[in-house]
Amino acid sequence: MNDFQLFLQSSMIFAEGLAALASIVFFRRTRGSQYRYFSIFLIFIFCCEMFGKFAENYISYPKNLFFNYFVIPIEFIFFYWLYAYQSLKNKKLFFIFSAIFLLAFIPNELYFVKNKHIFSFNYTLGSLLLMFLVIMEYYKQINSDNILNFAKNRMFYINLGVTLFYIGTLPFWTFYFQLLEHKEIWGLYFSYFLISGIIMYLLFASSFIWGKQNYS
């Protein structure tokens, strides 16, 4: 990474911390709603990020396995729950998507880990499933009677952040090895990955500041 990307990486961690802090400061606003779990989720992700950054200075552990098989699966399943189970009120879709995502680890371990065609099959599939939920959420918001008050909708900020980061970087992580053969393109996309991560967490923080409890 160059100096600019190192700065962006540090800024992304700062933005994660800011989102976690905002969720704590405005936790009372989310009391009694599903967003209290979103607050806990952001705190958990930030703690995992801190553990991943500093724990290796004190203990030896497989950092890539920690994120690939623990942190990232929790992220996807949580977003499936937030979108399908809570926002879209489709419990069946939540369980189906979660099961498909978890089962995707089987072909990923049996085949895709050994080849260079797709960087991470389960991450790619997980992002595609999330993209489907994102589109459904946009459709719900567009057809809402309160569309003019979108700034009060916490899911507006969350959905926009997820779109920029998870959906926007889907080609980057899917074709990581192919892009790596073109250093300039890879560098630009990696910078976008970091910038979109910063924006996403700032949007998550904004969802607590400007989002309203009684929006529907």
Residue ranges covered by each domain of the chain? 3-210
What's the average model confidence in pLDDT over 84-93?
96
Token digits for 64?
């890539």
Kindly report, residue by residue over 90-146, the tens digit of the pLDDT.
999 999 999 999 999 888 777 766 666 566 788 999 999 999 999 999 999 999 888
Kindly report, residue by residue over 57-76, the tens digit of the pLDDT.
888 888 888 998 999 999 99
Q: Rounded CA gap, 72 and 18, in Å? A: 20
Q: Rounded CA gap, 134 and 107, in Å? A: 25
In degrees, to the nearest 5, what angle opens at C-alpha 136 toward C-alphas 130 and 140? 140
- Burial label, 41 (beta-carbon count in 10 A; 0-12, 13-18, 19+): buried
Q: Rounded CA gap, 96 and 132, in Å? A: 13
Q: Rounded CA gap, 148 and 184, in Å? A: 41
Nearest CA among 188, 186, 96 for reference residue 133: 96
pTM of the model: 0.92
